[in-house]
Structure 1
């Protein structure tokens, strides 16, 4: 069986597909991944022996581009992204039995349209529930298109969400669909989600509340066990004193990275701890050369997070889940999109603290760290770690292949 996994986004959109691809291959499937042409994505997939088909521009370049996303430039960027999906995914999907679509909304819309054109079964997947319509939570707002502050009914907000997504992405999608003979889509969001979307998150961290309007399949998070050793220099730093506090903001391009780094150093030192900083896409750099600070690049977070006192991060779904699995207390400094949601989940579960806003000061970050470093928070984090599922990618791979096999099986006479 041949499977195409398609995404466009940051590391948090690509890494889960690595886990799923490995499990699919273990079950005998032939797998390839469509992803942005960033070198770190290509290397990650090469490391596990999964072919990658590059699509679109570098996600890192797009994330750090100026001006930032807005209602003025989003339709143009979406048109470029959708066109690149039609070009790359069409070639990659030839001969495939099923396509798994995830990532940015316009990219997933393009990928699902390609599957429709080719007559291939497709499955829509999200790595956080805030894009799935539900009366239990509001939708995410797009840049430049805030929801009216006086509207609090979630059902009304989800209706407005449809209008916003159609305004931003509808024309570009339908122009590309028309070019290959497909009819127009009148509701882009519901087209992307489909009849039975998959939610690839952990039920403890991200519990889905059933809604009569949507049949959601929650598989658990897709995580590939990481067996890479930690670098010698990092091992030496970890062994030279008490567990440090890890600070990293993943794929977030925080333009004031030097200020953020200095704030982090001051806040961590105020709690009597050493600092372990991850460069990430922000290029986080320490101007302090004292021996209580250390900087790392790409590293095995699964191994590392079990050896730190706390994890300070941006609130991406992957980092939140990895820290929770490791039993590491967290401080989430959310920047955008679903990150405030994950910050709230960390606080609600008692496994860390949610920083108020995206721009910490030494005082505000130190206060959040004080909560995270308390014995009560650490004990709670260890308890919750035991409830986090580890089989999400296996569950999803088996479900996907079983579903396709069942659909292809001869019908009884």
Structure 2
């Protein structure tokens, strides 16, 4: 199993690995060498093979060297992922790839070289060609402003992927004795990609553009207790609000975002549980109404808060929906605007307008979300939890 990206790309792979191991199948996950990911996979009892460089280091390197183009960075990601996967795939029966496109291409190349089946899995729907949605634009390749036909826009998307990733992927394939491929997108998606997203939160609408298997979300059970200090904070008063942005750095304004979150909660008369995340959010003063946490068990925490304010990653959106807790999504990139729209359409949350909240805008959104508690609780039981078993059945092992 191969992935390269944020925690939202790694944790679902760990979930499938656990299910496969429970069914007697050995599973190894190639993932970025982040300490957070090592700890997660170790807790799950899943072997991890380090792939490439830490994502945080990759991001820092890109910021420090803006002259290095995206195609050049793609070359490194492709070859590094290929090397990591090749190291452990010699005795494999199947390779499952996810994460950044060049990393998934590196894993697919190993599958071709070893003659193994390959399955691409996505944990969000917005990179899957569909006439019902437009693609997400790549840096330097904006969508044509005068084109509104989604089918034409997906043709542009295929061209963009060839422009950005084509040389990196095909030069690497040729270097290991394999022929180039004409379409990078079709090559990586393969014949029937998997969509590991909850069908209530984001149902896939079949079309002639792509045959997709929607398995449902891959959820890793978390049995960790909450820290004693957090338990005491939760029990001290009415339910607080949770604010956390996961693997998002929140641009250059983490301090402003933290202040907006604290002040918005106070405007609603609520205390706050704030997750540091990759943005490094911290309390803004010495008041005792804000409790800052690191990596905690969201499955235990979310049912005990009044609302969840987050970035809109698939994993956090699903966790809040399962908990029956209303949410405010402050979307940043890629699939997050999609999930913001979906929770608003379902009536279980609010889509914040803009990626950098103010105390006023967040307080207003939070006020609306708190009125959606009953609807969120009604929807909670509809979220499916058997996505990994569906995938295991597709592999013929369940």
TM-score of the pair, normalised by structure 2: 0.97
Q: Any conservation in 1 of the 2:126–2:334 contact (CA below 8 Å)?
A: no
Which whole-Å CA distance do the structure 2 matches of 1:241 and 1:71 have between them? 52
For residues 64 and 357 of structure 2, the distance between their equivalents in structure 1, rounded to whole angstroms, comes to: 21
Give 1:101's match in structure 2, choosing from 97, 102, 126.
Answer: 97
1:63 Cα deviation after fit:
3.4
Tell me if the contact between 1:279 and 1:295 (Cα under 8 Å) persists in the aligned partners. Answer: yes
2:196 is aligned to 200
Give the CA deviation at 1:65. Answer: 4.6
Partner of 2:162: 166
Q: In the alignment, does 2:344 pair up with 1:340?
A: no
Shift of 1:71: 10
Q: 2:220 aligns with which of 218, 224, 229?
A: 224
Q: Which residue of 2 aligns with 1:390?
A: 385
- Mapped to 2, the partners of 1:61 and 1:236 lie a distance apart of 36
1:282 counterpart residue number: 279
Conservation of the 8 A alpha-carbon contact between 1:64 and 1:253: no
Kept after mapping to 1: 8 A contact 2:34/2:54: yes
In 1, are the aligned partners of 2:245 and 2:279 still within 8 Å (CA)?
yes
Return the match for 1:304 from 301, 306, 321.
Answer: 301
Equivalents in 1 of 2:64, 2:223: separation in Å? Answer: 37
**Cα distance in 2 for residues equivalent to 1:151 and 1:378:** 40
Tell me which residue corresponds to 2:117: 121
Q: Using the alignment, how far apart are the partners of 1:286 and 1:360 within structure 2?
A: 16
Gaps of 5+ in 2: none
The RMSD of aligned alpha carbons is: 1.5
After TM superposition, the structure 1 = structure 2 runs for residues 205-284 of structure 1, keeping only pairs within 5 Å, are 205-254=201-250, 255-284=252-281
Q: 1:71 to 1:191 in 2, by over 3 A?
A: farther
- Supply the distance in 1 between the matched residues of 2:373 and 2:139 (Cα, whole angstroms): 36
Aligned to 2:153: 157
Residues of 2 paired with 1:74 and 1:307: CA distance? 42
How far the C-alpha of 1:66 sits from its partner, in A, is: 4.8
**Rounded Cα–Cα distance in structure 2 between residues aligned with 1:244 and 1:276:** 7
Q: Distance between the aligned counterparts of 2:333 and 2:68, measured in 1?
A: 18
SS of 2:160's equivalent? helix
- Using a 3 Å threshold, how does the CA distance of structure 1 residues 71 and 108 change in structure 2: closer, same or farther? farther
SS in 2 for 1:144: coil
Q: Residues 364 and 166 (structure 1 numbering): CA distance in 2 closer, same or farther, change over 3 Å?
A: same
- Displacement, 1:212? 2.2
Residue matched to 1:351:
348
Give the secondary structure class of the aligned counterpart of 2:315. helix
Contact 1:23 1:393 in 2 (8 A): yes
Query: Runs of at least 4 residues of structure 1 off by over 6 A?
Result: 68-72
Q: Distance in 2 between matches of 1:130 and 1:261?
A: 29
For 1:310 and 1:222, the matched residues in 2 are separated by 23
Q: Give the SS at the match of 1:290.
A: coil
Q: Does the C-alpha gap of structure 1 residues 102 and 352 become closer, same or farther in structure 2, counting only changes over 3 Å? A: same
Runs (5+) with no aligned partner, structure 1: 404-413
Distance 2:351 2:229 in 1: 31
CA distance in 1, matches of 2:101, 2:67: 15
Aligned residues: 397
